[in-house]
Every structure is written in C-alpha cells, then in structure tokens.
Structure 1
Amino acid sequence: MSSFAMLQLAFLTLAITSIAAYGFFHGRFLKNPITRTSILLAIAHPDDEVMFFGPTLAELSRPEHGNTIHVLCMSSGNHDGLGETRKKELVASCKTFGIREANILVLEREELQDGPNNLWDPSLVGDQMNLYAKKHNIETIVTFDDKGVSGHTNHIALYVGLTYFIQTFKERTPVKTCYVLKSVSLLRKYIAILDLPITMLSTEALMPLVSQMFGLGGAASLAGGATSSVRNRAMVRPQELLYVSAPAAVYKAKTAMEKHESQMVWFRKIYVVVSRYMSINELRRVM
C-alpha cells in the first residue's frame, strides 16, 4: 500500500470514528453541569468569544440552562485603528448567542492595548475581573489557559490575570469557580471535529461516564480534592468540561463569526472551517 493510500485510510478511519463518537456521546452523555448561574467570559479582543469559545457560549447560553452570560473584553482590538468598529461587531456577535449588550463591557485603557508585543499587567487584568464580578455578582469565570490557544501574549495575560485574581480575591469575591480553555497542539487545532476521538481519549471530562459504564461508582472531586455534601450538590463543578457543538450550534458560531466583518480576511474564513475550536471546547477548572 502506498503512503498516499495509507494516509487516505487513516483520514477515513478518523472521520468515521469522529462521526460515530459524536453520535454516541452527544446529547446522551455530554450534559452541562453549569446552570442557573451568572457566568463571565473574559477575553482579550473582539472575536475571541467566537473564534475560541463558540461551543462554550452555544451551550451555556441555551435558555433551558437559565444562565446569565456576561462578556468582559480587555481591549477593543484597536491595533489597526478599528476599535470602534470591532466593538460594534462584538455586540452583534454576542447577540447571536442571546447575550444582551448591557452584559458586554469593552475596556479602553492605555495599559491594555491590543498587540502581541504589549505586555499587560496581571494585577490590572485581575483587578478588572474582580470589579466586574463584584458589580454583577458573577459566580463562574471562563477565560484562556496559560498557552492562550494561539500563543498570543494578550490571551496569555488573561490567564496570568486570572491567577492573580484567584490568589488575591478568592476569599472576598462572589466567584465560586473558574475555568480555562485548554490549548492543544497545532495539528489538533486544525482538524476540526476529527479531533473528537483524541479529545475523548485524553479528557477527564468523561471519567464520570466511564465510571458509570463500568460500575465503578464514586463522585468526581472538586478542585483541591474536596467532595460535595448532598446539601451542596448543586454547587458541584467538575474538574473538566467538554462541550461538543451539534451542527446547528456550529452554524450559529459561524454566523456569529461573520458579524466580525472587519476581521474576515481569507485565513479566518479558512479557520472557521478547519478549527476544532469552532466545534469542540475543553475547559479545565482552576478554582
């Protein structure tokens, strides 16, 4: 068998496995444990909310979950002088997910300007998270991890700022849980839904399901190893969450991305098609 034929076979096998995995798990086992709460998505630039967090927003904003979603954007993305345009695009994108304009705040601070060479002060980022959380009684924060998905300096600053927030304000904030979006390798990042089998083999989010299937029992522990009492079971948050979008949710994310007209250059049009972050989000709990 030629190398090309082997490559074709590997691709076909991965595609079939991905479809089978999606059909078996989605809607039956991938339940959303975050309901009836206030959630803050902290991002660096307009379009981050859909380019990276589309599946998370699509799931958490479903009306039956009863969540209130807020978006805190640390900059207007004014690197090319399009800040005002990009703020309007962010509002339009969030509207696709049912997020009200009143729940969106874009900061305009000299110290938090868009650009890979602009290093943001983590204490300032953390302070802004704290101020917003206290004002709007936020219970859950979601943001980037330490690799920032794309490695962008501003994305990583959100993680460092969240770390500062947790260390400084943990005992005096309404926030009870914080999650970060897990970064994956470059290859996995650009194989769309074909990454699902790999994700399923590596994530801890499916461990409760494995325990259930094999009769192992036991409850998933909270961060730090604590387990919940029956009285506080409603506040249990797992160590990892896995959100896999149905085709309708993927289309919603694509529609939201199209609201960012100023950013839809050729490589972002390709990104919408090939990025696994348009259909798969894996979140890790850090608080």
Structure 2
Amino acid sequence: MLLYAFYALLITAIGGYAFFQTRLLKTPMTRTSIALVIAHPDDEVMFFGPTLAELTRPEHGNTVRVLCMSSGNSDGLGETRKKELIASCKSFGIRESHVTVLERDELKDGHKELWDPSLVGDQMNLFAKKHNIETLITFDEKGVSAHTNHIACYVGLTYFIQTFKERTPVKTIYVLKSVSLLRKYISILDLPFTMVMTEALMPLVNQWLGLAGAAALIGGQPAPTTSNGRTVLRPLELLFVSAPSAIAQAKGAMEKHESQMVWFRKLYVIFSRYMSINELRRVM
C-alpha cells in the first residue's frame, strides 16, 4: 500500500513538474528593483536558489541585489565567505557591486546571537533608499531552518514595515514560506503538497475560469499603479519551480561556498526541496 502511495506521489510530482516547465505561471515581477535580504553567505542559494534563478532571468529585466546581514564569521572565515557569496551571486548573473555584506559587531553570526530588530530594520531601510528598492524578499517567521539569525531577519522586517512603510520606496515584500522537516527533505516530491496548499495557482485558475482581474490577482485589494499608470500586480503568493538548468545553476552556485561544503550540506543539495521549489508569501 505504501509502495502504491509512493508511486502515486512520484507520478503526481512528475506531472506537476512538467506543468511548471510549460511556464504557464508567469512571474509578475519584471523590470523592477529587488533586494534579497539574507543572514549569512550561502543562504542565497541554500534557500532562495529557485527565486534567484527566476528573477534574474534576463528577459524579466529586473535589477537584483543581495543584502547579507553578516559575513558568517562564527568560525573565523568571514572574509572567505564574503568572497564565496560574491562568486555564488555571479552564478546567477548578479554583479559584485550588487552584493552588500554588513560588518557590524551587533550582527554576529551564531544561533545564540540575538539581533536588535530595530537595527536590522534600519539597515533594510537604508539599503532600500540607497538603491531605490521596490521589492524586498527575506525569511518568514520560522526562518526555514529555525536559525536565530534567519528569524531575526523577519523580526527586523516587521519593524521595518511598522516604522518605514509610509517612507520607503518598497512597494512589495515577500517572505519565503517554511515547511515541515519531512517536506523539507523530499526534494521535488514535495511539489504535489505545495500545489494543493499554495494560493499562487489561483490567478491561473481564475484566468482559465474567465475570472481573471486585479481583484483575483491581488487578493481583492486595490491594485497599485506606477507613475505611468501601469498596474502593479502583487499576488498573495508566488511559486517558483526550477527547471533542470536552474537546478544545475543553483548547485553550481552552492559549490562556490567551498568552506561550507561539509557532508551534511552535500546531502542537503541532493534532498532539499528548497533547491528546486520556493513558495513566497506577500506580507506587504
């Protein structure tokens, strides 16, 4: 019985994967400035690989920057890890000048290091203003791996929204949805579960049913517009499922983090669903 269930899951996952490779589900983020906010070097690919692979596609015309809150210097490898981060980002077509790593005593790498939310939020605000960022992306309240520093990015984001919402160029904020431990390590087999639970497919379903429109696409809220009157679509959720070439791109980027490629991270690259699936939830 369990074997039949596995086969059904496998077939469904393959079918879902084939569906996403037809690219019927288009990203609404094009020709905009995006900042990915992470806690440590290697977060950008271990957790956000599918997001970067999609949003950095040349045809989307996005400008993608990375703001890393620490150099990951808990083992004294901060300078090495910064160089690895730059090399990893280059694998996604992100220029070195678009990668910023903060070096502050108050933002040390470590599970026991508690970052001040106001400091994290202030850094997000300064970065957004300096580079005219329109979209922020970071971890959710569970931090994917429950790492204290990952969660601190979300808590700092909450402070940023509460304090600077009316005084920032940022129009949209997404967080990466955390999943259970079991789902986290079944790779592409998690796709059927994701498709059942996500709201990212609703715009496409509405379009098929003839119900498409701004209200359907952005959860019934008024659709914001740019200065030239162009409607900005802000779906409640986004779902990125990497094609084989994008998965290979992410694996190549992960290999740039040579100092971190211990045995359990090599297993992570093979089994983690975050190497091929990203589901983002809009919080602003």
User: Normalising to structure 1: TM-score of the pair?
Assistant: 0.94
Q: Distance in 2 between matches of 1:218 and 1:88?
A: 45
Within the candidate set 264, 267, 270, 1:270 is matched to 267
Q: Distance in 2 between matches of 1:268 and 1:34?
A: 30
Amino acid at match of 1:262: S
Q: Secondary structure at the match of 1:24?
A: helix
Within a 5 Å distance, the mapping from 1:135-154 to structure 2 comes to 135-154=130-149
The CA deviation at 1:47 is 0.1
1:216-271: CA deviations, max 9, x gaps? 44432537832357974532211110000000000000000000000000000000
Query: Measured at CA, do residues 33 and 217 of structure 1 come closer, stay the same or move farther in structure 2, by a change above 3 Å?
Result: closer
Match for residue 70 of structure 1? Answer: 65
Q: Distance in 1 between matches of 2:141 and 2:16?
A: 29
User: Could you tell me whether the CA contact under 8 Å between 1:144 and 1:156 is conserved in 2?
Assistant: yes
Query: Measured at CA, do residues 138 and 223 of structure 1 come closer, stay the same or move farther in structure 2, by a change above 3 Å?
Result: farther
Within the candidate set 240, 248, 255, 1:251 is matched to 248
Q: Distance in 2 between matches of 1:65 and 1:217?
A: 22
**Does residue 14 of structure 2 align to residue 36 of structure 1?**
no
User: Could you tell me whether the CA contact under 8 Å between 2:134 and 2:171 is conserved in 1?
Assistant: yes
Which deviates further from its counterpart, 166-175 or 217-226? 217-226
Q: Distance in 1 between matches of 2:220 and 2:114?
A: 31
* 4+ residue segments displaced more than 6 Å: none
Structure 2 unmatched runs, 5+? none
User: Could you tell me whether the CA contact under 8 Å between 2:239 and 2:277 is conserved in 1?
Assistant: yes
RMSD, matched Cα: 1.6
Match for residue 225 of structure 1? Answer: 221
Within a 5 Å distance, the mapping from 1:104-253 to structure 2 comes to 104-219=99-214, 220=216, 222=218, 225-228=221-224, 232-253=229-250
Within a 5 Å distance, the mapping from 1:46-65 to structure 2 comes to 46-65=41-60
User: Could you tell me whether the CA contact under 8 Å between 2:50 and 2:278 is conserved in 1?
Assistant: yes
User: Could you tell me whether the CA contact under 8 Å between 2:53 and 2:92 is conserved in 1?
Assistant: yes
The CA deviation at 1:10 is 1.8
Q: Distance in 2 between matches of 1:215 and 1:168?
A: 40
Structure 1 unmatched runs, 5+? 1-5
Identity %: 75
Query: Measured at CA, do residues 38 and 228 of structure 1 come closer, stay the same or move farther in structure 2, by a change above 3 Å?
Result: closer
**Does residue 15 of structure 2 align to residue 9 of structure 1?**
no
User: Could you tell me whether the CA contact under 8 Å between 1:74 and 1:106 is conserved in 2?
Assistant: yes
User: Normalising to structure 2: TM-score of the pair?
Assistant: 0.95
User: Could you tell me whether the CA contact under 8 Å between 2:223 and 2:231 is conserved in 1?
Assistant: no
User: Could you tell me whether the CA contact under 8 Å between 2:35 and 2:66 is conserved in 1?
Assistant: yes
Q: Secondary structure at the match of 1:175?
A: coil
Match for residue 281 of structure 1? Answer: 278
Which deviates further from its counterpart, 226-235 or 113-122? 226-235
- Residue correspondences, number: 282
Amino acid at match of 2:241: V
Q: Distance in 2 between matches of 1:67 and 1:218?
A: 24
Q: Distance in 2 between matches of 1:28 and 1:102?
A: 31
Amino acid at match of 2:266: K
Match for residue 3 of structure 1? Answer: none
Amino acid at match of 1:92: A
The CA deviation at 1:211 is 1.7
Amino acid at match of 2:269: V
Amino acid at match of 2:77: L
User: Could you tell me whether the CA contact under 8 Å between 1:43 and 1:74 is conserved in 2?
Assistant: yes
Q: Secondary structure at the match of 1:225?
A: coil
Match for residue 20 of structure 2? Answer: 25
Match for residue 80 of structure 1? Answer: 75
**Does residue 93 of structure 2 align to residue 101 of structure 1?**
no
Query: Measured at CA, do residues 217 and 41 of structure 1 come closer, stay the same or move farther in structure 2, by a change above 3 Å?
Result: closer
User: Could you tell me whether the CA contact under 8 Å between 1:140 and 1:175 is conserved in 2?
Assistant: yes
Q: Secondary structure at the match of 2:66?
A: strand
